[in-house]
Chain A
Amino acid sequence: MATDTDLQTSAAPDPAHIFGAAVKRREDPRFITGTGRYTDDIHLPGTLHASFVRSPHAHAAIRSVDVAAARQVPGVVAAFTGRDLAAAGVNPLPCGWLVPDLKIPGYPVLAAGRVHFVGQPVAFVVAESAYAARDGADLVEVDYEVLPAVANAERALEPGAPQLHDNAPGNVAFRWALGNQAETDAALKGAAKVVRQRLVNQRLIPNAIEPRASAASWNPFTSELTLYVTSQNPHVHRLLMAAFVLGIPEHKMRVVSPDVGGAFGSKIFVYPEECAVSFASRALGRPVKWVAERRESFLTDAHGRDHATEAELGLDAGGKMVALRVKTVANLGAFLSTFAPLIPTYLYGTMLSGVYEIPNIWCEVTGTFTNTTPVDAYRGAGRPEAAYLSERMTDLGARALGMDPVEIRRRNFIAPSKFPYQTPVAFQYDSGNYAAAFERALEMLDYAKFRAEQTAAAKQGRWLGVGFATFIEATGPAPSRIAGALGAQAGLWESATVRVHPTGKISVMTGSHTHGQGHETTFAQIVSSELGVPLEDVDIVHGDTGAIPFGMGTYGSRSAAVGGSAVWTAVQKIKEKGKKIAAHLLEAAEADIEYAGGKFAVKGSPDRAKTFGEVALMAYLAHNYPDGLEPGLEMTAFFDPANFVFPYGAHACVVEVDAETGRVKVLRYVAVDDVGRAVNPMIVDGQLHGGIAQGIAQALWEHAAYDENAQLVSGSFMDYSVPKADDLPSFETDRTETPTPLNPLGVKGAGEMGTIGSTPAVVNAVMDALAPLGVAHLDLPLTPDRIWRAIRDAAARRPTAAD
């Protein structure tokens, strides 16, 4: 096990040792020299620019929209309203994941009749420059009749609450449940101790640093649309937009997602804006581009989390968990974003067992419409909510029993001998040794030493705390058959085409799509390792429906496990075909050919061999070639995983709370994660670092706050606190490696781990620090004012010495 500071990076290690090596990223030279190519960097000749008119009200009837003044602005070419789009046959955005009895209100590209959240697009103006388009948009007059609005999901479920959609009475989108209810109820009744806690998991805004953008170009001569868009899954964008929204034949639409400047889930979904510019380009016969301003990102990028939960954990006298009962109200926002119903159900309720053996679990979720921005997957997506619940309840259980938070975890881990382990909430875990990761984290932390320091500090009036999170994640979605049974409207396999050129150089077309994960490096490492060819001979092609057979894209930490496995499988097919060609050339039986170190050789006679390049050339020359074999050396594989895979981690956080100001300082952060085999440990560590920062930020700072009129009051970087360099410490990371048996690479997934573990670790640490001050629980985020008030209120409750 090596910590990140020991990593020695290299540009091009020997193919024999390249899998698992800290290879420097091949995409970096363009990014560090300013030659990356993001959507906003695409300048098509004759491009027009779009600016959207957005609702300032959370809920209102639209009496009229007047675009006449906008059309008079110099440079303005056109202005469109919801009525124009409806008349042209532009349909509402579809929902891609259906749970039973789901109520689906149409999510219109432009509102017509009524607006349902602040920021919802009502009209847009197209002009020769972005500045002129904005001038025009400012002159569009919309007459609104303001209606009562509701932002809080629990309030939206109350009788008399403002109603959003006629087809969703009571604002209920769905009611969903999972687990063994009767057994859970009985076990809670019989438990030695039951801890109950209301937990609020606040709403977050993803805030990728690159704002969403799209540029559409209609070719009237071929009737083809090319759309450049910030997308994590260009084929999904094409399929949904072509088939459901725009009515363009799928083969007449090309979606290109060039370099993507971060996403964290927010660029999975089909949004109104890319549909609007596509419509406008077709209507006007010129390219049309839109780039979000940051205020638009805050208001319209799909938000994350937003749960209110009542949780009850039953324990026996020895601290063993016997039952967990959970009732959650999930805020879905005003409309169903593309995968919204999936997040608080199959990615949340299924994860409530965590890393613990809990025989009885019952979970009820009510998906709720409110007058807020639609909510969908944000880094972790359901799993952070589950891990937060699991880890807070575990600590509250330990405290109720007077037990050490370390000890309660040790007593409840699923033992390594129990895999594959079936939870009461549907999932079967593949492999793991949760105690090993936890013990390593305790060792790195030096737990006993910390407790001594904590005691010494308390004597000086300094409040230190340590918090743990031992957690699991389901990644690599998903077996298509299972996904389909759970409501997915798509298969969730991944594709790869490996094209060997006549010179032996290789292009790999993958349906995965990086937005910072470094696939151009890691996927090439897989190919280099398998074929024994130099890294520089392998190019990774992604993000273009014109170049790639089909792809489901990158989310859910699926790229290495599913996309990487597709690449691996296609490479095996290349080897198999190569063996046939080599056997012919070497006049040997195919069964006697083995491939190693970049050569096809006859077993036992290493001198009788053909190099990879020689075989590749003959595949295209086909001059001296096996009868009945097709020329060429190009193979496609579709990899459909057998199950989700289950990476896990043990995180420990040390904080100091300033009781005078309520400010929390993170002093140390230790993370031991098991992501299966690491293709590139440098990249795995990087993923962990970024995830940890986002999870710490949820614990301490970030909050998408709405006021009573459902106005977003944290709608800028002035009001919404993303972490800055001086807010965070350096992180201490390590790994254990438990390969999964479920894919050929043994990889699990690293993209979301940090986010999932860090929020509860930080909160548990703060609560540990506040325990002597009489504070048992506070809701997220733990801002200074919230902590300061809690300390003050707890002090007021305590009898003073004078009493």
Chain B
Amino acid sequence: MKIQMKVNGADHVSEVEPRLLLVHYLRDVLNLTGTHVGCDTSQCGACTVLVDGRSVKACTMFAAQADGAEITTIEGLASDGKLHPLQEGFWERHGLQCGFCTPGMIMAAWQLLERNPRPSEEEIRFALEGNYCRCTGYHNIVRAVQFASAKMAAAPARPARAAAR
């Protein structure tokens, strides 16, 4: 079947199998391999992307269901060569080790800060409980999100693309 969507600002039209998962469409058809697959049961969150401004586990959705949607993946988060504060935060606060969960973790944290710009540690931990990290023990991921939250509060203008709805 034919689908069309806007991914990181670029329009794509593709012929796909109805059963093709969104994450496989992004990775294997569009070659956006920053979005990862860590489980088959929508638990680990490594495949989290933004669909019309909401964080979604892309292994739990068919590409066909995203027909007409606007998608942001980790590759689309930085704008004009400038890292998003969350990306900066993960770098500054050593919020990643192997890096495999990181794209999904950042996209899930993006949703949190969108809804709650100044979350407490408890709120950060609760919001990220759908994203597994096996390396960091989450300690520095919390610090990374706190870094981003503080930085975004100091400069409230959100990067345009990530804010797209």
Please tell me which one of the listed residues A32, A291, A724 contacts residue B132 in the complex, with CB atoms under 8 A apart. A724
A689: B residues at CB distance < 8 A: 136-140
* Complex CA distance for A685 and B125, rounded to whole angstroms: 19
Question: What is the distance, in angstroms, from B142's C-beta to the closest C-beta of chain A?
Answer: 7
Determine if B128 is an interface residue (Cβ-Cβ < 8 Å). yes
Q: Which residue of B lies closest to A132 (CB)?
A: B17
In whole angstroms, how far apart are the Cα atoms of A448 and B126 in the complex? 32
Q: Are A730 and B73 in contact (CB under 8 A)?
A: no
- Interface positions of B from 120 to 161, Cβ below 8 Å from A: 121-122, 124-126, 128-142
Which residues of B15-66 are within 8 A (CB) of A?
A: 17, 19-20, 24, 27-28, 31-41, 43-44, 46
* Interface size of B as a range: 35 or more
Docked CA distance A516–B134 (Å):
10
Whether the pair A32, B44 counts as a contact (CB closer than 8 A) is no
Contact check, B75 vs A294: say whether CB atoms are below 8 A apart: no
Given the complex, which residues of A lie within 8 Å of B124, measured CB to CB? 725
Q: Are A35 and B34 interface neighbours, CB within 8 A?
A: yes
| B34 with A33: CB separation less than 8 A | yes
List A251-267 residues whose CB lies under 8 Å from chain B.
259-264
A682 within 8 A of B: yes
Q: Are A131 and B98 in contact (CB under 8 A)?
A: no
A209 within 8 A of B: yes
Question: Which of B102, B129, B131, B137 is A32 in contact with, Cβ under 8 Å?
Answer: B102
- B110, CB-defined interface residue at 8 Å: no
| Residues on B with beta carbons closer than 8 Å to the beta carbon of A29 | 91
Cβ of A25 within 8 Å of any chain B Cβ, yes or no, is yes
Interface size of A by Cβ–Cβ distance < 8 Å?
A: 63
Interface string of A484-508 (1 = CB under 8 A from B): 0000000000000000000000000
Complex CA gap A130/B75 in Å reads 24
**Which of these binds chain B: A52-60, A356-364, A690-698, A735-743?**
A690-698
CB neighbours (8 Å) of B137 from chain A are: 689-694, 723, 728, 731, 754
Question: A41: CB under 8 A from chain B?
Answer: yes
**Contact A728 B138, beta carbon cutoff 8 Å:** yes
B140 and A717 contact, CB distance less than 8 A: no
* A13-46 at interface with B (beta carbon < 8 Å): 24-25, 27-38, 40-41, 43
Chain B positions within 8 Å of A25 at CB level: 91, 94
What is the minimal beta-carbon distance from B42 to any residue of chain A, in angstroms?
9
* Complex CA–CA separation, A260 to B134 (angstroms): 13
Interface residues of A in 651-668 (CB under 8 A from B): none
Q: Would you call B128 and A725 a contact (CB within 8 A)?
A: yes
CA distance A625 to B20 in the complex (A): 64
Which A residues are CB-close (under 8 A) to B92?
9, 24
A603-633 toward B: CB 8 Å interface, digit per residue (1/0)?
0000000000000000000000000000000
| Shortest distance between the CB of A752 and any CB in chain B (Å) | 13
Contact B38 A725 (CB under 8 A): no
Sort A-B residue pairs by CB-CB distance and give the 8 closest, nearest first. A34-B34, A261-B100, A31-B99, A693-B137, A516-B98, A34-B74, A516-B97, A689-B137
Provide a sorted-by-A list of 16 A–B residue pairs whose CB atoms are within 8 angstroms.
A9-B93, A28-B91, A32-B74, A33-B87, A34-B75, A209-B38, A209-B44, A261-B98, A686-B94, A689-B137, A689-B139, A690-B97, A692-B137, A725-B126, A725-B131, A754-B137
A residues with a Cβ closer than 8 A to B are 9, 24-25, 27-38, 40-41, 43, 130-131, 207-211, 259-264, 291, 293-295, 515-518, 682-683, 685-687, 689-694, 716-718, 722-728, 730-731, 754
Given A683-B94, A690-B135, 11 additional A-B pairs, CB 8 A: A9-B92, A25-B91, A27-B99, A32-B90, A33-B75, A43-B28, A43-B31, A210-B38, A261-B98, A686-B135, A716-B41
